[in-house]
Amino acid sequence: MAKAIREASGKALLCKYIASLTASGENRIDIPFSCITVTPGSDITGLANSNPWLETRPLVAKPDQLIKRRGKLGLVKVNVDLAGAKEWLGMQMGREIEIGAAKGKLQNFIVEPFVPHKQEDELYVCIYANHTGNTVLFYHEGGVDVGDVDAKAEHVDVDINDTLSVEQARTLVAKAPQEKQDALVSFLQLLYKAYNDLYFTYLEINPLVIQGNCVYLLDLAAKLDATAEFLCKRHWGDLEFPPPFGRDALPEEAYIAELDAKSGASLKLTILNPNGRIWTMVAGGGASVIYSDTICDLGFSSELANYGEYSGAPTESQTYEYAKTLLNLMTRTKHPDGKVLIIGGGIANFTNVAATFKGIVQALTEYQHKLQEYNVSIFVRRGGPNYQEGLRIMREVGSKLNLKMYVFGPETHMTAIVSMAFGLRPIPQDRLLEPVSSSLMSNSLAKSASGNSVSCPGTGVKTMVTLWSPEQEAQLGKYKPLFTSTTKSIVWGMQPKAVQSMLDFDQLCSRESPSVAAMVYPFSGNHKQRFYWGNKEIIIPVYKEMTEATKKHPDADVMINFASLRSAYDATMESLALNQFRVISIIAEGIPENLTKKMNKEAKKSGVTIIGPATVGGIKPGCFKIGNTGGMVDNLIASKLYRPGSVAYVSRSGGMSNELNNIIGNVTNGVLEGVAIGGDRYPSSTFVDHIQRFHDDPAVKMIVLLGEIGGVEEYEVCSLIKSGKLFKPMVAWCTGTCAKMFASEVQFGHAGAHADADRETADAKNRALAEAGAFVPTSFDSLGSLIQEVYSQLVAAGLVVPQPERDPPSIPMDYNWAQELGLIRKPASVMSSICDERGQELLYAGMPISDVFKEDIGIGGVLSLLWFQRRLPTYACKFMEMCLMVSADHGPAVSGAHNTIVTARAGKDLVSSLVSGLLTIGDRFGGALDGAAQMFSQAYDSGMIPMEFVNQMRKEGKLIAGIGHRIKSINNPDMRVVILRDYAKANFPSTPLLDYALAVEKITTSKKPNLILNVDGVIATCFVDLLRYSGAFTREEAQEYIDIGTLNGLFVLGRTIGNIGHYLDQKRLKQGLYRHPWDDIAYLAPDTNAS
């Protein structure tokens, strides 16, 4: 995706890189570069101290805010000293100016040395991307009055795999002064290499001045392919892509861009008018443009507040953040007529509509009162997987929150809700999913025959289809289908849902065998995956290497590439080299344009059709579908995609291809084939490639083209129509007509949806298509009606004979999907009440993980949440942490540590060594906490005085758990016990059980001084006091925690710390295998000689 950069950034990037190219060889070219950036608050005096040239050389100052023709606008100050520059900057900084329809403040300037030169010294150079490589323009005159350089300049086209040759460079500079040509040739070669290596998409230097071997870039405009950041980060650094002049970057836009960068989904937001009345929250790049078009077509462009889209199956939490950000912006200013929120979208191919709507519902709930206060009307239209549940959720929340909300599904034309919102179409009074009256949904058409044409109402325009003769049809080229009912594919990537969707489509089409032969997934070994083929399960092999997959499945001639944008190029090039595939579909969006061009060239050389990149794929009803194209089974059936119709379509947008499936399925006998060529700037196969193929198919009776703003491929279609080679009727529409209404430049959802010239605008292309002879509606809103009118004429003329509808086979619903739809229920296999990772962020007993850190609850606080499902008092959390600290270790001689050491020295891993030590914990080692808690609490609760308890234990011959120590005594106290005892006495509300244990200790130590209350005993009794008297537990809960072994958990957790330490210690000391010494073993073998 091409994004503009500041002049200072472009110059710095080029000069640094070109210097690196010439550093190792003879540096014949020098590109002097010095500049500073001045913004509000800049200390120019301080900048002068660090840039001495500011005070010694004449200067140039100008705004650096993507403003074109600054010289003609009087925005360049030349040949001034520092004082003059400061004065001029002071007058200009913050000044609001108007350039065309865009208004904005000047607040970013570049100051650089002035280069004295003559007008005739100025030159012009420009490099821009084209479909196969790049075009280099050079003109021997430059400056603000250079004029129409496209017409005057010398130009050469350079293939993407080539460099600018010396011969090409000399051709370009042939009219330049002779003495400068050698330097220009060297510079142009270096410049082109830098352009290509740094992934520029546009670079204009005007003027360029040559003085000896020095090249001065006096003025520069540039764009970079932002998708190449993962390749160029080392060279680009932290590069800024500023918004166009007239639209300041808002922090909310930056936040959504950050979310987008961290997500596999697509999240875009551009604020056009913060005070606007109409806000959109649209799913899908193609749909987002169409909704904006419709709003502008209806005359409300000045009220449109934003452009944006969310697509690519964003999670519930991502849509929540997106919706929350939008609602926050929307409810900052009021409008006397209230505000309108359009929550729209086409029919999704694979996005779970209900899941994304849940995030929106969460945001709507949060902003309920503001939505009411600001009198917001909400219009919802969506279709796709689980849309019924999604729309039910939206209706329910609208009623619950008492919002003015109107909810519609795929039976309503996509943009109908826009005219409803503006009162131009009646709104059904109920909020149920009732079909809305629209020309698209009408099934009755008045037909009247007159010769070879039929006139039908619907669009308000008399549409006459020119019918073709059998002789014309006989002259069609040889039809070469991309897909048949026996097509086999290999899927690159672990995409079980997409594969299952393809297999279900196969069943609907009554295919005899599955269309997926194998899968390739480099990140695992060869294995097999189970899928459903109707009612039974089948196995599809998964290979680590594509070479092995192709060898074992030589009949698979279609590759569906689900690799990420970082690896899609390599996966595609590998597949092309195998010479097996006829068709490759590349799903990934955002592949760098240079890599796409290289793939396209190799595909053309190999005779392979690539669909994409950035596509959902294509579909041929009755034969084959790519991945998620067409959506789930219910949509495949609703759009009649299980059997062929008579209409073929080609679209840029993958999301809108499903909308076309729906429209065509409703107003004609259905789709024969549909392809989404992809939304990137340079799709491999073009509109013409597919339209010519459609046209050669005798079964295709009409063609639908859905183009968009950007690119010039539609003009090739116009030429085809004018030549007479395309005589079957075509209905065409290019989206993006709204672009002309925006005061500043807007990059739409697709990378290719951007006009760099007038002829790339949607309006220009729609006019050209209409003039060529295509049927062009007045807007997308009437596209369906026009398709219906053309189709009806073909039916009336007998060119299309509708066939009786057949019922498709029944496809069982997957268990998981049925459960998600709420159609079935099953008891959970596992219950958990302490942690939930499913939502926006991880929850510990209902507490967000971010709050865990914000409130600094510590390890003790986390234990209180995960062990006890509640926040305990601070003193209780601190006590648990103290218990972990005092029980963490007790030297290498105890059984747990010893076992850990022995296991570690045997070469085992950390977990094995740790477990071997922990398994020694029990009644004899470390497990006395639970026993002590139960003994002391039972004695205390029974009313026994300490002396009675001691006597009872002696009488039963039992040791008192928690009493006694091998080393410590009443005269040599265990400081661990002292620390815990004193803390409890000082901080606990009450310590009756601890006091009871201390009384027992007085009795036992009177008999023997080492029969003290040990660390197990003090932890146990203190913990019982904590459970009983902290106020956080009932008596029953406290007893339950004692009975289920909670106290031993403290010792296990604490001793885990120490045992890990022993493991690491042995590894660090590189200790060898442990063998117990003989002299420490008493060998008691029986005497075999004894009688």
Q: Which residues are catalytic?
A: 750
Residue 216 host element (H or E): strand 214-217
Residues 221, 200 contacting (CB under 8 angstroms): no
Instruction: For residue 915, count other CB atoms closer than 10 A to its CB.
Output: 15
d(CA 112, CA 101): 30
Helix axis angle for 946-956 and 992-1007, nearest 10°, is 60
Residue closest to 228 by CA, chosen among 593, 704, 609: 593
587: left (phi over 0), alpha (psi -120 to 50) or beta: alpha
User: Which of 378, 292, 288, 389 is CA-nearest to residue 327?
Assistant: 378
| Residue positions counted in the chain | 1091
Token pair, residue 843, equals 């929850």
284's tokens = 């899908």
Contacts of 593 (CB under 8 A, 6+ apart): 2, 129, 199, 201, 225, 227, 228, 680, 681, 682, 751
CB contact burial 561-575 (16+ within 10 A = b; e otherwise): bbbebeebbebbeeb
Cβ atoms of 790 and 463 closer than 8 Å: yes
634 to 340, 387, 433, 637, 803: CA distances (angstroms): 31, 11, 17, 5, 21
Cis peptide leading into residue 426 (ω within 30°): no
Amino acid, res. 1081: I
Q: How far apart are CA 152 and CA 410, in angstroms?
A: 52
Cα of 619 vs its chain's centroid, Å: 25
Which tokens hold the place of 1055?
């001793």
* DSSP character string of 273-340: -TT-SEEE--BSHHHHHHHHHHHHHTT-GGGB-EEEEEES---HHHHHHHHHHHHHHHTTS--TT-EE
Give per-residue burial for 759-788: e unless 16+ CB within 10 Å, then b.
ebbbebbbebbeebbbbbbebbbbbbbbbb
Separation between Cα atoms, residue 367 and residue 327, nearest integer Å: 7
Query: Within 475-606, where are the H helices?
Result: 496-508, 546-552, 568-577, 593-606
DSSP H or E stretch at residue 874: helix 874-887
Smallest CA-to-CA distance from 26 within 136, 183, 151 is with: 183
CA distance 188 to 331: 53
Closest of 265, 268, 381, 254 to residue 316, by C-alpha = 265
Side-chain-side CA neighbours of residue 1031 (13 Å): 6
| DSSP one-letter string for 134-186 | EEEEEES--STT---HHHHSEEEEEETT----HHHHHHHTTTS-HHHHHHHHH
CB 342 within 8 A of CB 305: no
**Strand partners for 340:** 278, 377
723 Cβ contact partners less than 8 Å away, ≥ 6 residues apart = none
What whole-number distance in Å separates Cα of residue 470 and Cα of residue 698? Answer: 11
